[in-house]
Amino acid sequence: MAAVRRKRIVELVGSQGAIGSRDLCDQFGVSEATIRRDLQTLETKGLVARTHGGVMVNSNVLVDLPNEERKAVGAEEKRRIGVAAIDMLVGDEVVFLDAGTTGQSVAANAHKKKDCSYVTTSLGIANQLQSQGIRNFYVIGGSYQKINDSFAGTLAISALRSLSFDIAFLCCTAIDVPKRSISIASEVYSQVQKEAIANSRKAFAVADHSKFKGTAFVQTASFNDIFGIITNQELDKDTATQVRNAGMELVLV
């Protein structure tokens, strides 16, 4: 129950920006001591920042939750984003699917465009593609990264440098609109993402609206490096306007 509660706390903080400890106690029906332990754990992981009387979004995310824990956060929003991403494809492209739970939501719809060729560094996404009977898909190997069920390192980088993609769907930890950049928490995996961007005709960030707050450890691209962002329609209007004013294609679903 503690793990489920902490997932929900992260989701609430991401959507609201900040929330009081007493509000969390009332919502979950637990004591202040329990909530205090939850917030201490989440702060240690770099997922939130505690304040006097509550908790707020951590403006600098240093560590991602493991994939299994992140799947439950914004699941419906990620499902819609995944459908929209696949619907953008004509049906014969070479597509890079980035490691991450939103990338898995995109991969879950790959059967709609079976004639595309899919490339991924994610073991979980490769299993999804295989289960859907996708004929043309490739898994890039390397050093296994448990945090996002992916492969990285020099072997992965070398393989990516020999390929080119029509479109890449990129996961991220944070989208910093004022700084016009996307970033992730993993320094090791950041090199994989940078290579994928460099070898793609178009790159779209796929991220739910909670990612539009703060920054993460490593910036992987500026807005000049990517074509657009696919996110859910709950994104606030001011942020959406800023993204469009930055020259980005913004897809709201």
Flag whether pLDDT at 62 surpasses 70: no
Of the ranges 110-114, 123-127, 144-148, which one carries the lowest mean pLDDT score?
Answer: 144-148
Task: Give the model's pLDDT for residue 64.
Answer: 54
Residue 34 pLDDT more than 80?
yes
The maximal CA–CA distance of the chain, rounded, in angstroms, is 55
Q: Nearest 5°: CA angle at 9, between 8 and 10?
A: 90
Average pLDDT over residues 145-166: 95
Q: Is the pLDDT of residue 15 over 80?
A: no
User: Average pLDDT for residues 109-133, to the nearest whole number?
Assistant: 97
Residue 70 has pLDDT above 90, yes or no: no
At residue 19, the pLDDT reads 85
For the entire predicted model, the pTM comes to 0.76
Q: Sketch out the chain's domains with CATH numbers.
A: 2-58 (1.10.10.10), 68-252 (3.40.50.1360)
Q: Residue 194, SS3?
A: helix
Q: How confident is the model at residue 13 (pLDDT cuts 50, 70, 90)?
A: confident
* One-letter amino acid for residue 136 of the chain: N
Alpha helices (H) along 51-137: 67-70, 75-87, 101-107, 123-131
* Interval 5-28 mean pLDDT: 84
How would residue 57 be classed by pLDDT, with cut points 50, 70 and 90?
low
